[in-house]
């Protein structure tokens, strides 16, 4: 590695809730630097969630992230000419990033509605333990469980 590691930037809270997690989520949704459009999508989704569930959308969002975020993941490693899928525990930041990424991917894969409606439906489904993002987490956990025999290769 050349040079020094880039410093961690402090992300300010979003404009409506002053929450850094929601601000990061908006940044993950953003495409081509269009932050205003990304904020509109997230806040519209939160309004839809509030209308449907009659709960604070932040609580539903945090509950969905808890259900979607993985505890284990597998990484490929080459040992003695063979490739092994080795299960590792996921750090907190990566857990949040993967959870957000899977929620957004699941919402983008749906078709027919606006992005705000798709995102709202995916977040509410994830908060109840359903939806494609939760299924993705379960697949990753299943993969880690089936490769538990190679855990001793992890350092």
Task: Give the pLDDT means over successive 10-residue stretches in the chain (155 positions).
Answer: 90 93 96 96 96 94 95 92 92 95 95 94 95 95 91 81
Nearest to 22 by CA among 32, 140, 30, 48: 30
Annotated domain spans of the chain = 20-153
pLDDT of amino acid 153: 83
pLDDT of amino acid 127: 95
Q: How many Å apart are CA 69 and CA 105, to the nearest integer?
A: 14
82-114 core/surface letters (b: 16 or more CB in 10 A; e: else): eebebbeebeeeebbebbbebbbebbeeeeeee
Both tokens of residue 51?
């209308």
Fold of 20-153: Ribosomal Protein S7 (1.10.455)
Q: How many Å apart are CA 24 and CA 61, to the nearest integer?
A: 13
């Amino acid at each position: 590695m050349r040079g020094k590691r880039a410093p961690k930037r402090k992300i300010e809270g979003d404009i409506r809730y002053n929450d850094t997690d929601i601000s990061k989520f908006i940044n993950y949704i953003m495409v081509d630097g269009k932050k205003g459009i990304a904020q509109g999508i997230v806040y519209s989704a939160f309004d839809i969630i509030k209308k449907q569930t009659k709960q604070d959308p932040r609580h539903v969002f945090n509950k969905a992230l808890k259900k979607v975020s993985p505890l284990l993941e597998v990484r490929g490693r080459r040992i003695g000419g063979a490739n092994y899928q080795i299960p590792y525990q996921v750090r907190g930041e990566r857990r949040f990033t993967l959870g957000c990424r899977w929620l957004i991917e699941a919402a983008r894969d749906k078709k027919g509605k606006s992005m705000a409606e798709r995102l709202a439906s995916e977040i509410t489904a994830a908060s109840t333990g359903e939806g494609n993002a939760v299924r993705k987490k379960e697949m990753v956990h299943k993969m880690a469980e089936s490769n538990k025999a190679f855990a001793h290769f992890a350092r």
